[in-house]
Every structure is written in C-alpha cells, then in structure tokens.
Structure 1
Amino acid sequence: MVAMSAGPRPVENGFPDGLRVPLVVVGAALALLMAWCVLALPAAGQSGGPQVVAQSQELLVNDLARATADSIGDVAGDLSTAGALYTVHPDPSPAGTLAAFTRSIPQALGLALVHRSSGVLLAGTGEPVPVESLPSKDVDRITVNLVRDQSGATVVLTTAPLPGTQWLVLVTTGLKIPATTLSGSPAEALLLTTPDGQVVKSRGSFDPEYQRLVTTASANAVTAAGSVVGEESTGPVVDGRRTTPIAVYAPILTGDPARPLGLNLVLVGSAPAHGAPQTPVETEWVAAALAAAVLITLVLIGFGFVLPLRRLRGEALGGHHRRRYRLREATIVSAALRDEIIPVRRGRISARTLVIAAVAPLLVCSAVIGVVARETVPTVPDLVVQGERGLAEVTAGALRDQLSATLSDLRTFATRANGEVASLKPALDNLIAQNNRYRSVYVTDAAGSVQVTAGRAPLRTTERPPAGSGLHQQNTAGRIPVLYASTPLPDHSHVLIGELDVTKLSSILRRSAGNGKLVDSGLRTLASADGYRAFDMLTDQALRQSVTDALGGVGRPGTDQIDGEWYVVAAATVTGAPSTDPLRWTVVLQQPLTTLPLPDNVVRRYVLFAALAAGALALLLLGWYHLCFVRPLRRLSVAALGLAQGDLKTVIYPERLNEIGTLSECLDAARRQRIPTAAPSVPMLV
C-alpha cells in the first residue's frame, strides 16, 4: 500500500466536489419538503367552508353582471339604429321624431327630445325623463348614465345625438336582474348596488343585517369581481347549523372599451361555517411514503457509496487497515494500490448500479403518488353542482336575450323601412356596425333573392323566406350553421333577414368555465366555447341525457365521467320567449372537477407538487453523483486495471479535486514507485 503521508496532501475542493456535499444539500431539501408535507397537506385537506362556496359562485355572478350589461347596451344599439333610419325619412317636427323613436325602443320607460345648446325640452312621452340629471348636453356620441327619476328610483339614462340636427334623444329604462335559480343556500338575494353600497334593485330575500357585507362588496367591485366572507358562524341557522354570510360581487361594465357604469351586482347568501374535513389518512400516507423513500435513498447512498469511498481514500493516504468493499470499483482501486491480484467480481456491485438503485425508491414513490393524485376524483359539494346549473341557466338566458333582441331589432327596423329598398343601405350598414350579433343583414324579394345587403356575404341559400317573423335554423349539415331572423317589410313584398354570427354566440358560451355547447333538438352542435365542427353530434351518454332531461323540463345537474375525465354537467334550454321556444335549443356545460375551487383539488395540487419536487430532487441527486463521482470512479477503476496488468507508462491524472481525485493521485504515485530504476554506470579503467 502506498502511503502519501510523507508528501504534501492532495488538494480537495469543497462545494460542489465533496462526496458528502450532494447528500447534505439534497437531503436538506428533501427534509424541508417532508416538513412542508406534514404541515401543509393536512391543513389543505381541512380547508373549505364559506370561502370555497363563495369562490364557486364568482363565475355565476360575473356572467349575470355581463348579461345585465348586455341588456343596458341593447338600448344604445336600438337608439343608434333608430337614428340611422331617421336620416332615411326625417321628420321635421319634434313630436313626429319622438314618435318614431318610441316605436323603435319598446323597453323605454320614458323618452324626451331636448335642444342640445339650450337644454329646452322639445317633446316628451311616457314617464318624465330627468333631463336636469344629464351630466353634459354637449353630447356627440351615445352615452349611458345612472340617474334618479322623480320618484327617487334609479334608472338608466341613454342619450344620443340626432344626426343632422341640434336635438338630443333621451331614453330612460329600468334596471333588470337576469333570471336565475336562487336555491336559498348559498344564494338568498341578488342585488344591484351603487359603489357606496346602496341597494337600487333586489331579487330574493335580503337580510338587512348583511348591509355591512354588501357595502364592503360594493366598494371592492369597482375594480374587479370577487367575493368577501363575513364573520364566521354569524349567519342564519340552516339544518340546525350556524352558517357564515358571504357576498359575491361583479361590476357592471358597458361600452366599447368597457367602462364601469357605477353599478354592481352582488349575490348575498350564507354558507356552512366549516367545510367537510378530509380524513387524515388521505394526506398522511403521502408524507409517510415519501419520508420512507427519502430515508432509504439517503441511507443507501450514504452507507453504500459515500462511506466506502471515504474509507478507501483514508487508506490511500496512509491508513493501515485493509477493508473489504462491496463496490466493484473500490475493490479494484484498493487492490491496485496494494499491488495485489484483483479479486473476482462475483458478489460485488458497480457504483452506477448502486446509485441508480438508491435513487429508484424515491423516483418510484414520486411516480406512484403522482399517478394516484391524478386519478383521485374530488368530492363535489351539492352547492357547487347547483351553482353549475345556475351558470347554465344564465348562459341560456343570455343567448335567449340575444336571439330575442335580434328579432326585435329587425321588427323595429321594419316599422321605419318605407320607400325604396335601395335607400335602406346606410341604415343596414349602421345596424351591422352597432350590433356585432349579426354577420350580415339584407333585404330579399318574395322569392328570396337578395336586393340590398350589409356585412358579409349571406350564407343562406336562396329560397322563399318563411312567412311572418321569427327565428330560424336553415340547415342541419354543412360547414357553418345558418341561423337567422326574418320579418316582412311594410310593403309585404320584401323580407328583412339578419344572419346570426356563430362566433358571437360562441363568445357568450366562453364566459362560463369549462366547455359550453349550444345544441339543437337533434343534439347537433351549433356553437361551442372551444373549437368544434358544425353539427357534431353529442356522443357521450351523460351529455345526451342531460340535454334530454332539460328539454323534458327537468334539469338534473351532476357529475359524470367523459372520455376518462370527471366533469360537472348541467344543461338549460334557451326558452322563455315566444321567438326562441320553437327552436328547442339547449345549452350544455361541462366543467372539469379539477378546475373547481375545492379542498380536494387543493390537496391534489399540493400532492402533485410534492411528488414532482421529490422526483426532481431525486434526479438532481442521481445526476450530481453520476457526473461528479461515478463516471470519474469508473474511469479510475479502468486505469487501476491497466496498472495491475503492468501498464506503467499511462499517467493517471485527477479529473476533479475531490476524493476521487485524491485516489487518482495516490494511484499515480503507486505507478511511479513501480517503475524500475536504471542500474548505475561503472567507469572504465584504462
């Protein structure tokens, strides 16, 4: 055995070259991960309660707020279209002008015609319009404001300049809360509030004790949608348990770009004070399994790899205790240093195999935990399922309002469409510009031939238009669904047709979470929140059954497995208006359970993170040891074999300044000592 104690000791670097450095660094990181699992996983499993219920209602309230904004914006579109028609057949008298606008805006509570510069009231009809509440009479575009009428009620005041005149048209309309199911828990009331918390309209039972919560929600709603939770266990008693009050809010945004109107939609209700706790085993087994795998990995590397190599290094530097090694490379290097015969490899393990086998338990454990977490189906409270039904109803209601408004637009347009058909071109262009629900609007003759058009080229095939006015679906196959509204013009020889933009219908479906579809009575897809092919059939039995139940008048939301993934499924029919009832269209929503704000999903994400972090640390440990120690050690064992076989010429250089480098220097010192010394020369005597 070659001892190097007499000479200078080889230099060895610290981080990241020491044999113990990876074990300490990765071991500390794994210990922190285990501590996080022990503390965070049980806490996540016991979370829930009011906050989860409130978050599950945020999408519903946000969709309701958008539907409210759409109903307010429809008045502005009607005003614009009526103004464009006025330019076709202007009436010089204020009374005649106001009468034309009255026919164009049936939802108006009151209308007024005002002189822009003087503010003098020229004509009025319906309820008195609060002209004095108009912020500014210097109006060059359509504006929407909240004002109070003479009775003190809050109304919407829409103002539009009349082209070619110095007149302003003022329209007041009432506030409307879109219809949706209020199951009593968590929803008790839907409120329209001002930023200071004043309730201007309500639907449902509103407990005045919640006013402080409503004020907070109204103030927060100025910036974005969200929810607030009141003091725990201060709400009413439901099923013998005290509940916690919640308020979910969203601002009403109008215009393009959207701006706050100064009105908020607030859902007030109550939720269970405590969520259903998870069983501790569901989280504790993860921490226990990872801890066991971490311990096995660290022990195998520490005692099977690090300790033998450090002992071999100690012997190479001058130790006198010869040891037997299970590592094949350590046995070869030890024999080469002592100039002994290298023993048979039987019963020994290579360094590479040992490190891989040591890290394997942690990698396998991480993979198993990740797979189990992905396959776990979260428990969905009934309140969340019912919230999905409400979301489907709101989406169906928004589509119904858009479809009804389409037919109403055309009917209103037709009342003023007198004279030559060609003269309607500017008004048709304005109708397209002010209402993005249309892809094209045109006038046909009795045979269906297009006479004048605005927007894109018509998709509808030429055929005799349907009698009367209504909404229609022309095709059940093809590249694009042809959906349109039609109404006859006063001359009874021409028909006004407006084709619906399927992209607009899809944008309403995209408001809801998950994947929403609009299907006809034959279960064919007409529009979808995601990419789709027109008239794709619903093939999944759960979706088909949900649509069938909705068409039968019994909506049954629930959870179902679709293509290997679990969803909350709910459906609602686009009915409730005479124009939409004959269509028998249905909205069906499917939202993945993994996207819901549930405690089970929080635990699932935490477990997936722990599995991913443990697997990444295991790979880091494997790569660190393999690159810095295993590969240099294997090359050193090859050099040791060559030395044992008599190769004294190949210099053995240290690759890194660590324990393996020290062994390389010791082995090279042994090589140099075995080089035979030349005999001294004898002088020749003359």
Structure 2
Amino acid sequence: MSLIGGIRPPIAVLSVLLLALAGVTALTLGRVGQDAVPKAVKQSQQHFAEDGAIALRASIDESVTDLTRTAGLFNGGDPVAPDAVLDKISSVYQKWMGTAVVEIRSGKLLAARGENVPLAAIDRSKLKDEDGLQPRMVRLENGETRLLAFAVLAWKGQPQQLLVASSSLRFPGISLGEFRSIAVVGHDGHILSTDGIPEPEQVNGPTERSEVAQANKQIKAFAQIAAKKSRQHPLRAKEPGSGGYKGVSGHLIGERFLGERAVGGYASLAPPEAGEATVATGLGLSVVAMVPVTEDEKRVEGSAFGLIAAGALLLIGGATIFLLLRTVQRPLIRLFLESRRLTRGDLGRPVTVPKYGEAARIGRALERLRRQLLGEPAEPGRAPKGGKGGRRNFGARTLVAVSGVLLLLWSAPLLLLLNRPGGDVQVPQQLVNDQRERTDTISDRVRRALNEGHADLTSVASLIGTGTEPAQMGKVLDSTLHQHSRYRALYVLDKSGRVLSKAGSDPRAAGEKPSIREPIRVEDDGGKEPVIIGTAEVQGRDGAAVVGEFRIDFLNSLLKRPGLGAVRVVDKDRKIIGGNTGYREFQGLPSGRLDGLVESARQKVGANPRPSGVLYRDGDDIEIAAASPFAGSGAAAPVGWTVVTWQSASGLAIPEYTLQNRTVLAGMLGATAAAACLGWLHIIVVRPLRLLADQAEKLADGDRRTVLYPVHHDEVGAVTRSLELIRQQLGSQRKRDGAPAGLAGRN
C-alpha cells in the first residue's frame, strides 16, 4: 500500500493532530493569566532599555565624530592657539564635561576648559599606533566613570597637539517618569552610572531608605545578569526570524518587595545597521532599566477553560474518528478482502455486503459477479428504496462531511465566539506610563538630533572666514556631508541667496535670502516630502550662511521603535512632518482626539509643556496614545514640533487579548487539521471510491469491454484490480462457453 494513500493514513494523521491539539489547548489556554505581571509590561521594560541603549550609543558616536571632525576642520586651516580652539568648541558644543589640549611630545597641558580631564590615564607612547586614539573609559577617584575621546591637532611646522574631551556615561534625554531607574553596565557587570535612584542620604525615614537599598540591590543583580547575557551573539540570543533590536535584549523579573515586583529590561549597545561596528559598540556596555510594578493577584486566572476545551476536543474528535473507522475504513477494508477472495477462486460463500454508501453498491456488484463466475445468469441491479441507480441517499462523501461538521462544532466557537473580552479589558497603567515616557524620550531625541545638526552647521560656519575660497568651502562641506548621514545637501549662500559652494544634492533654498533668524525651519515645495532646513550665519561675510537640508529619512529613522505603534511628528498646526510608517506630507492626524491630545500636552504647564498619555475606550476598541512637545533649549526648540504615538491595546500581550488570540489560533488549527485530513481522505479515497462504484455496477450489468485501471495503489486500487481480474475471467469464461467475441459484452 502507498505511504500517503489509502484509507488509514489520513485517519491516523487526523487522530494524532487532534490529540496534539488537545494537549496544546490544555497547556496554552490554561497558562494564560497565570503571571501576576503581564507579558506586555515585561516587554515594555525591554523596549525601554533598548531606547536607552540607542540613545547612549548615538550620543557616544556623535561625540567622537564631532571631536574628530572639528579637529579636522582646524587642521585644514591656519594654526590656532589652544585656548582659541577650546573657546570655539565650547561655543558650539555643550556636550563635554571637560576639554583639554596637550602637547603630545612633552605632555604639557596647553589649555583646559570645564572639569579636570584625567590626563594621567593617557599613555602618550601609544598615540602613534592605529588604535591609540580610540576612546577609552577611565574611573575617577570619586567612583564616577568618564569616557575620553581624542583627536590630533597638527599644523605644518608646529608640534602635534592632542585634543581631549571627557564625557559622562549618562543618558541624554531619557524620560524616566516616577520610580524608574536606569543604569549603564560594563562588560564585567559593574554599574558605571545610574539615574533615578536617589542616594540614601537624600531620603528620610526608614521605609524610604529600605526602598532605596532594595532598589540598589535589585539593579545590581539585574546588572550582573544583563552583562552575562549581553556577551552572547545577537543571533543566538533571540528566536530565529524574530527581528527587532539588532543587539542583545530581554526582560527580567526580580524580587518582590512591599507588594511590588521589580521588572527590568536590558539591552546591549548595538550598531544602527547589522554587521557594522561603531566606537560605542566596542566598549562592551549594556543598559538596564527597572521599575517596580504592583502585582494584582486577583487577575490570576485558572486553567479551567483550557482543560474544558481540550476535553471537548477529545470527545468530539473521538466520535469523529469512530465514525470514520466504522462507516468508511472498515467497509472498504472488508471489500478489499472480499474482492481478493473472489479473485483467488473462493466462490463458495456469498459476499458480505456493507449496509450503505458506495461500499454497499460495490458489495452488491461483487455478489452478482460471484454468481456470474459460478455460471448463473447475470441479473439487473436493483436500486435500494429511496435511491436510483443502486445509490443510497448518503455515501462516503456525506459521512466525511458529517465528520467535518462535528469538528467544526468545536472549532467554530473558538474562532468566532469564545473569549472575546470586549471593552472591559484591564490595561495596566504601567503601559500608559511607558507609552508616555517613551514618547517623551523620542521627542527629546529628535530635538537633540536637530540641535546636533545645527551645531555642525555652526561649527562649519565658524571656520569659514572672509578669506576662504569656494574650493576650500567645498572641501569642508564634502567632509561634513560624508561624516554625517543626516544631510541631503550642504551649501553656502550669500546674502542674496546665491550659492557660493555646495555638496550633495541640488539646493532647494537657492535664490532665497538666508533665514538667519530661523535656525531650523520647514518648507513645503510641493514635492513628496517636507524640506527641513538648518541655517547658521557665517561671521564676517555680510549675511552669508551655511545651509543644511536634513534628510527626511534621517528624521523618520529616529521614530522607528517597536512597541509604540504609529509614531508621527507634527508641526505647530498639527500637520505631519515625519513618521515611522507611511504618511502624506502635511496631512492631519487621523482623529480629532489625537488633535486634542496634542493641544492638551502643549498647554499643560504653560511654557514648560509635559508629555501626556491617555487610554481611549470606544466600544471594543481600546487605544493607548501619548504626545510630547519639544521641551528644552537649542535651535530646534522654537519649531514647536510634537511627537504623537498611538497603538491598539489588542496588539499588546495583555492576558485578555492573549487568551483571545490563542483561542482563535486553537480554532484555526482545529479547522485546518479537519480540512487537511478530510480533504486528503476525500481526494485519495472518496472520489476514486465513487468512480469505482459506477464501474463495478456496469461490470455486473454486463460491460466486459471497459478496462478498469486503479487510480492509486491503495485499498480502492486493490479492489479495482480485483474487478479487472474478474472482468478478464468472465470474458474468458464466455469464450469457453462458445459465445461470439462480438457478444462478449452482452448478457
């Protein structure tokens, strides 16, 4: 018999699938709601740590790039005094804790600004090596850690100088909200910096001190785990095909303290593109975020539904399998045995005829053929009562359909009716808080990115003096464009709008007078995307300015974060500037309530707007939304942009929705198993069996000319071969009896 054909394989496979589905149903549906902290809250802390890792990586890489590029710009011009170098750097960038210029040969300190730079940690003998200028971390006497970045100042005829900048490993613009803490962890699990955890001497009362002590203990434990897990390869640390964050990340569950459970997330510093390496990713740093979450023991649900559903499947599946075995498989196997008996010449006892269906028709035909082999005259077939042509009112096709209906009785309610939470889903408040704080973090990240871009333009403008020729300007612009991916075009305009020098794409603001009073502005030139323009005045050139056009893809790349849903940046008129998914430039937000959310966030505290988060309920539709206006200083502050995010709660791993999704999945699996196995049975067995019933009746009625060919090598095919042998025996018998060849097909 064929391995994939016959009556047994589809029924056996269906039995195995139903048993497996019953086990999966009992386990998966029974475990939903068993955790006091929903999975969505855990995943949210993981995304929070990923946001921190992205911000820290971008800050470190940007800091190193800016220092190297600034030194290169100084090296391309006339020699500048060390104090003048640091003054210009300080006037453009405010990101470093301290800066210094040191003569490399003698080690003499030539100039310094800000806090004392730990120069004793610099080994000047290794500065000539290829890796000698790589940034490094230095631990100060007070326990704090500083990141030192280096660049060489070299002019012809003068000793080489080392430009050093120190920065802290703190997170730029991370919104923590209340009770959250975040830390930078070294490769050995040592905490390098923390935010959100107060010092013990800053709190009053024994309860507060115990809470601070517990928080420090828990985040140290998380830091050790995160450092160990972050040593894995990113591809091995996640499920195949899961995608998402390009580094190693995950969530952690800590100890319970005063009715709250510490929930954390961790993430290693990862490059923006897979397979690349940056300065920050080579430091072996990780980020740990932690927040205490109140456990709701009343939300823990039992496993009764999963057990009941699995039991019902076993009963219905057992009845279905019994029906197929009793009414389809057993009669067919009996026909197979009876046909084999007749071909062997055992004609002494009558054929056992099944009670109904195609098997009964074939059985009656075999009995008539047995009599014809014994020499009895052929009798015309008689149709059973209520049918015609020897057919009963129902056959194998009807039995298979009944089996499918039985299985649908279990699958259909799961697909369409059961475990539908409606609008009464309990959405944890922590998810609303996280949506708000993560939106605020993205808003600050976009603002800082624009400020950094304008600072670059200001740095370039400060080095383009009155005597700089267009060719020299072009070299500076080309260097800046290739070092930063945020610009699509860089150019210098005179006071009338004439282009003096350019790099990159064609200028869109050419011919316009430089808008020096608006350091960053947005224009709509009728194209497919908004034009974001930054302008920095060139001192001493009578109104000339360096203009940079930001790539809209650069802005949108800052918004692509998992777990936030749709993200949009809107202007003062609530028109969309950028987004993480498809949008049309300068179109409005999709709903009036989002417009209201933006306005309420802008007016919340007057001149100091604060992010807003809200949970919208509209029937069965539940949506989490947040808005965060630009807050803070810098060139981007006056643009008045707001970052808006929203997502449906049904897409989060909340117990009610998880139970609904798993219930639907179980129903889909049941329907798929039934359709696959019963369809297999219909194609392999039922259709050939119906054809064989017609052929058997025609053969019994005297058709000796039609050759019977088996469709498959299975039970039906075996019965077909037996009927062919009987046809040949009947033809030989008539020839021996003297019947003419032309009458061999007649009775």
| TM, length-normalised to structure 1 | 0.85
Task: Tell me which of 55, 68, 72 is aligned to 1:67.
Answer: 55
Task: Tell me which of 697, 700, 706 is aligned to 1:641.
Answer: 697
Change (3 A) 1:269 1:371: same
**Alignment partners' CA distance in 1, 2:545 and 2:647:** 41
Q: 1:659-681 CA deviation, whole Å, 9 max, x = no partner?
A: 43454355456543585364589
**Alignment partners' CA distance in 1, 2:649 and 2:520:** 36
Q: 1:260-307 CA deviation, whole Å, 9 max, x = no partner?
A: 324332223323456732465654565356445534532332233223
Offset of 1:133 from its aligned partner? 1.6
Contact between 1:477 and 1:535, CA under 8 Å: does it hold in 2? Answer: no
Pair 1:168-2:162 in alignment: yes
Offset of 1:494 from its aligned partner? 0.9
Contact between 1:130 and 1:150, CA under 8 Å: does it hold in 2? Answer: no
Equivalent runs, 1:357-396 vs 2, <5 Å: 357-362=402-407, 365-366=410-411, 369-371=414-416, 380-396=427-443
Offset of 1:160 from its aligned partner? 0.8
User: Which secondary structure does the structure 2 equivalent of 1:143 belong to?
Assistant: coil
**Alignment partners' CA distance in 2, 1:444 and 1:17:** 79
Q: 1:356-397 CA deviation, whole Å, 9 max, x = no partner?
A: 332244357546534558976675322122212221111111
In structure 1, the residue matched to 2:139 is: 148
Contact between 2:351 and 2:363, CA under 8 Å: does it hold in 1? Answer: no
Which stretch has the larger CA shift, 654-663 or 329-338? Answer: 654-663
Which stretch has the larger CA shift, 581-590 or 144-153? Answer: 144-153
**Alignment partners' CA distance in 2, 1:101 and 1:178:** 19
Which stretch has the larger CA shift, 66-75 or 504-513? Answer: 66-75
Change (3 A) 1:585 1:284: farther
Task: Tell me which of 653, 672, 689 is aligned to 1:616.
Answer: 672
Task: Tell me which of 191, 195, 220 is aligned to 2:187.
Answer: 195
Equivalent runs, 1:523-538 vs 2, <5 Å: 523-538=574-589
Q: CA RMSD in A?
A: 3.5
Pair 1:138-2:189 in alignment: no
**Alignment partners' CA distance in 2, 1:625 and 1:34:** 22
Which stretch has the larger CA shift, 285-294 or 525-534? Answer: 285-294
What residue identity is the alignment partner of 1:479? K
Aligned length: 660
Structure 2, unmatched stretches of 5+, are 198-211, 233-246, 342-346, 369-378, 605-609, 740-747
Equivalent runs, 1:332-351 vs 2, <5 Å: 332-339=361-368, 341-344=381-384, 346=387, 348-351=393-396
**Alignment partners' CA distance in 2, 1:558 and 1:218:** 35
Contact between 1:50 and 1:244, CA under 8 Å: does it hold in 2? Answer: no
Equivalent runs, 1:255-654 vs 2, <5 Å: 257-258=277-278, 259-273=281-295, 276-278=299-301, 280=303, 283=306, 286-287=309-310, 290-291=313-314, 293-313=316-336, 317=341, 320=350, 323=353, 325-327=355-357, 329-339=358-368, 341-344=381-384, 346=387, 348-362=393-407, 365-366=410-411, 369-371=414-416, 380-421=427-468, 422=470, 423-460=472-509, 462-475=511-524, 478-491=527-540, 492-513=542-563, 514-553=565-604, 555-559=611-615, 567-593=623-649, 595-600=651-656, 602-654=658-710
User: Which secondary structure does the structure 1 equivalent of 2:260 belong to?
Assistant: strand
**Alignment partners' CA distance in 2, 1:460 and 1:431:** 19
What residue identity is the alignment partner of 1:154? T
Contact between 1:188 and 1:269, CA under 8 Å: does it hold in 2? Answer: yes
User: Which secondary structure does the structure 1 equivalent of 2:283 belong to?
Assistant: strand
Query: What percent identity do the matched residue pairs reach?
Result: 25
Equivalent runs, 1:81-160 vs 2, <5 Å: 81-91=69-79, 93-134=81-122, 136-138=126-128, 143-149=134-140, 151-160=142-151
Change (3 A) 1:199 1:520: same
**Alignment partners' CA distance in 2, 1:279 and 1:547:** 41
User: Which secondary structure does the structure 2 equivalent of 1:458 belong to?
Assistant: coil
Change (3 A) 1:331 1:149: closer
Contact between 1:90 and 1:97, CA under 8 Å: does it hold in 2? Answer: no
Change (3 A) 1:291 1:148: same
User: Which secondary structure does the structure 2 equivalent of 1:496 belong to?
Assistant: strand
Offset of 1:419 from its aligned partner? 1.9
Which stretch has the larger CA shift, 427-436 or 119-128? Answer: 119-128
User: Which secondary structure does the structure 2 equivalent of 1:676 belong to?
Assistant: helix
Change (3 A) 1:308 1:450: same
**Alignment partners' CA distance in 1, 2:737 and 2:294:** 98
User: Which secondary structure does the structure 1 equivalent of 2:52 belong to?
Assistant: helix
Contact between 1:113 and 1:170, CA under 8 Å: does it hold in 2? Answer: yes
**Alignment partners' CA distance in 2, 1:602 and 1:150:** 51
**Alignment partners' CA distance in 2, 1:437 and 1:680:** 100
What residue identity is the alignment partner of 1:245? A
Structure 1, unmatched stretches of 5+, are 1-12, 682-686
Offset of 1:436 from its aligned partner? 1.9
Change (3 A) 1:621 1:450: same
